[in-house]
């Protein structure tokens, strides 16, 4: 596989690079490094909502509209079941597949649980790869309204929440899960009779949220009747210049900052902790368990697990470029680890205010994704720039 060819947009190499990311290991590591060195510029659109809500159909419509505007589009479709056994993915392939012949479109389905043990790990890398390969727009389709979907939408510049008519009590789930993260609500299947009711329920819900400074848009769209689709494409296209990646350099900036931190960290060197990927508020590290990590009972020492988790957490909370420091941390270990195993630590942000942040780190065994340990930590954010503290530009 040639990473440079993938970054130049060669479809076959892109496919191989994605497989390498999914499979993990040394090759994935190389791909991530190459991606991190390139400059991202894509508008990343996250599309989430309940199963059967019309997400894939909507994505098809968006592809068509964005292509008409001359944009190239990559799609990452994430399904909770395995991509090989799940019927839904096959269905998605068929419905979205009609656009596969177009050179300006690349569609890839991913399983929601990569072997690295977290939804965002593989998906985030694939988004970054498409970005680096020069696609103008990257659309990410995820199912549901759970924590992992909230997590995945962190990668997106624009978050679209699909609400089909007749959700009933499920509107509560949307309220609890994704209301906070939506830039736009799309009431899908607008040709169905309940669509207007769903729209007014949503509008009522949004009016209740006084604290929200930016009120999300609500649009009714029928993919079947092609109603509202042009307006939605125009709305999305108009946002392409104000994505987070454009504003802050996004994942790339975070990666560069975090890799500088880890290369200057003596404990990371001592224990052999390596950076796998990083974005704002989230990092993934790995460590091979060696003789030096073992305790008297020939198991990986709890202190080594804590150090790995603490490193991942520390980098995640420092990834915005402001110094943050752990003030309280609790590690729970559920499985012992033998010598020779690779461990993966995935840190993600639970909440963050101006001064206080809460982070979780999941430590898993790379070989099979077995849960090893969990670190919960609270950090205190200092009013100090990390760059300045490290003495120079990153
Ligand atoms: N009536 C109507 N049905 C739709 C529309 N969009 C999607 N559907 C149907 O809803 C079902 C689920 O659509 P799909 O896009 O697979 O939903 P997903 O699971 O959210 O990706 C399919 O049977 C679609 O044909 C629409 O605009 N109107
Ligand atoms: Mg779908």
**DSSP string across 334-383:** -S---TT-EEEEEEEEEEE-SSEEEEEEEEEETTT--EEEEEEEEEEEEE
By the CB criterion, residues less than 5 angstroms from ion ligand 2 are: 55-56, 92
Compute, in angstroms, the gap from residue 79 CA to the centroid of ligand 2.
8
What is the atom index within ligand 1 of the atom nearest the CA of 50? Answer: 20
Q: Is 1 helix (H, G, I), strand (E, B) or coil?
A: coil
Minimum CA distance residue for ligand 1 atom 6: 54
Question: What is the per-residue pLDDT for 151?
Answer: 56
Atom of ligand 1 nearest to the CA of 188: 27
List, in order of start, the domains of the chain with CATH numbers. Answer: 1-38 (no CATH), 41-247 (3.40.50.300), 250-389 (3.10.129.10)
Question: What separation in Å is there between the alpha carbon of 54 and the centre of ligand 1?
Answer: 4
Say how many Å lie between the CA of residue 127 and the centre of ligand 1: 24
Predicted pLDDT at 156: 80
For tokens 């990092």, name the residue. Answer: 283
User: 217 pairs with which residues across the strands?
Assistant: 184
Position 177 scores a pLDDT of: 53
Is the CB of residue 262 less than 8 Å from the CB of residue 275? yes
Which of 46, 54, 91 to probe ligand 1 with, by most ligand atoms within 8 A of CB?
54
Query: By alpha-carbon position, which residue is closest to atom 4 of ligand 1?
Result: 189
CA–CA gap between residue 351 and residue 5 (Å, rounded): 39
Which pTM does this prediction carry?
A: 0.68
pLDDT at 170: 59
- 94 within ligand 1 shell (Cβ under 6 A): no
Q: Determine the distance from the C-alpha atom of residue 374 to the mean position of all C-alpha atoms in its chain, rounded to a whole number.
A: 20
Q: What is the pLDDT along the chain (394 residues), one digit of tens a residue?
A: 788 999 999 999 999 999 888 777 678 777 877 887 676 688 999 888 888 888 888 998 899 899 999 999 999 887 554 332 223 333 444 444 455 567 889 988 876 554 333 444 567 788 889 999 999 999 988 876 454 555 555 678 888 988 899 876 656 555 555 666 678 999 999 999 999 998 988 888 777 665 555 678 899 999 888 899 999 999 999 988 755 454 444 556 777 788 889 988 999 999 999 887 777 788 888 899 999 999 999 999 999 999 999 999 999 999 888 899 999 999 999 999 999 998 989 898 888 888 999 999 999 887 777 899 999 999 999 988 887 777 654 5
Residue 118 has a pLDDT of 40
Q: Is the CB of 54 under 6 A from ligand 1?
A: yes
Residues in the chain: 394
Q: Which two tokens stand for residue 244?
A: 């987070």
Q: Whose CA is nearest to atom 2 of ligand 1?
A: 189
The predicted pLDDT at position 231 comes to 95
**Does the CB atom of residue 142 touch ligand 1 within 6 A?**
no
Nearest C-alpha neighbor of 188 from the set 55, 296, 75? 55
- For residue 56, the model assigns a pLDDT of 86
Contact of 104 with 98, CB cutoff 8 Å: no
Ligand nearest to the CA of 58: 1
State residue 352's pLDDT score: 85
264 C-beta closer than 6 A to ligand 1: no
Q: Is the CB of 99 under 6 A from ligand 1?
A: no
**Which ranges constitute the DSSP H helices of the chain?**
3-7, 11-23, 25-37, 55-68, 87-97, 119-132, 147-153, 170-177, 195-207, 229-238, 244-248, 250-263, 266-271, 302-318, 386-389
CA dist 320 and 323 (Å) reads: 8
- Cα-to-centroid distance, 306 and ligand 1 (Å): 46
- Encode 85-101: b = buried (16+ Cβ within 10 Å), e = exposed: ebebbeebeeebeebee
């Amino acid at each position: 596989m040639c990473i440079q060819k993938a970054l130049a947009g060669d479809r076959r190499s892109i496919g191989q690079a994605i497989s390498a990311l999914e499979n993990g290991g040394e090759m994935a590591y190389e791909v991530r490094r190459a991606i991190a060195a390139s400059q991202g510029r894509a508008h990343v659109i996250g599309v989430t909502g309940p199963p059967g809500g019309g997400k894939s159909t909507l994505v098809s419509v968006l592809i068509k509209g964005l292509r008409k505007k001359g944009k190239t589009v990559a799609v990452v479709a994430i399904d909770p079941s395995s991509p090989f056994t799940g019927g839904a993915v096959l269905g998605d392939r068929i419905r979205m597949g009609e656009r596969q012949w177009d050179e300006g479109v690349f569609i890839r389905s991913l399983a929601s649980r990569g072997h690295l043990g977290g939804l965002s790990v593989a998906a985030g890398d694939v988004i970054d790869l498409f970005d680096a390969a020069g696609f103008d727009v990257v659309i990410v389709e995820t199912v549901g309204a759970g924590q992992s979907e909230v997590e995945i939408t962190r990668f997106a510049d624009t978050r679209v929440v699909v609400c089909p008519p007749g959700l009933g009590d499920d509107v509560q789930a949307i309220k609890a899960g994704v209301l906070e993260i939506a830039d736009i609500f799309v009431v899908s299947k607008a040709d169905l009779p309940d669509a207007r009711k769903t729209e007014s329920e949503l509008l009522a819900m949004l009016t209740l949220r006084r604290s929200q400074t930016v009120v999300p848009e609500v649009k009714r769209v029928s993919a079947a009747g092609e109603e509202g689709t042009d307006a939605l494409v125009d709305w999305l296209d108009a946002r392409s210049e104000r994505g987070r990646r454009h504003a802050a350099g996004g994942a790339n900036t975070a990666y560069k900052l975090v890799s500088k931190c880890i290369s200057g960290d003596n404990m990371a060197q001592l224990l052999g902790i390596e950076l796998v990927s990083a974005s704002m508020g989230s990092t993934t590290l790995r460590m091979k368990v060696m003789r030096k990590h073992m305790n008297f009972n020939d198991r990986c020492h709890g202190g080594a697990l804590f150090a790995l988790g603490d490193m991942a957490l520390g980098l995640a909370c420092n990834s915005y470029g402001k110094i943050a420091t752990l003030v309280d941390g609790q590690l729970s270990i559920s499985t012992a680890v033998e010598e020779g195993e690779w461990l993966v630590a995935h840190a993600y942000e639970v909440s963050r205010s101006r001064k206080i942040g809460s982070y979780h780190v999941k430590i898993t065994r790379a070989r099979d994704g077995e849960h090893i340990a969990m670190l919960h930590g609270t950090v205190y954010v200092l009013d100090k720039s990390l760059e300045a503290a490290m003495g120079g530009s990153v």
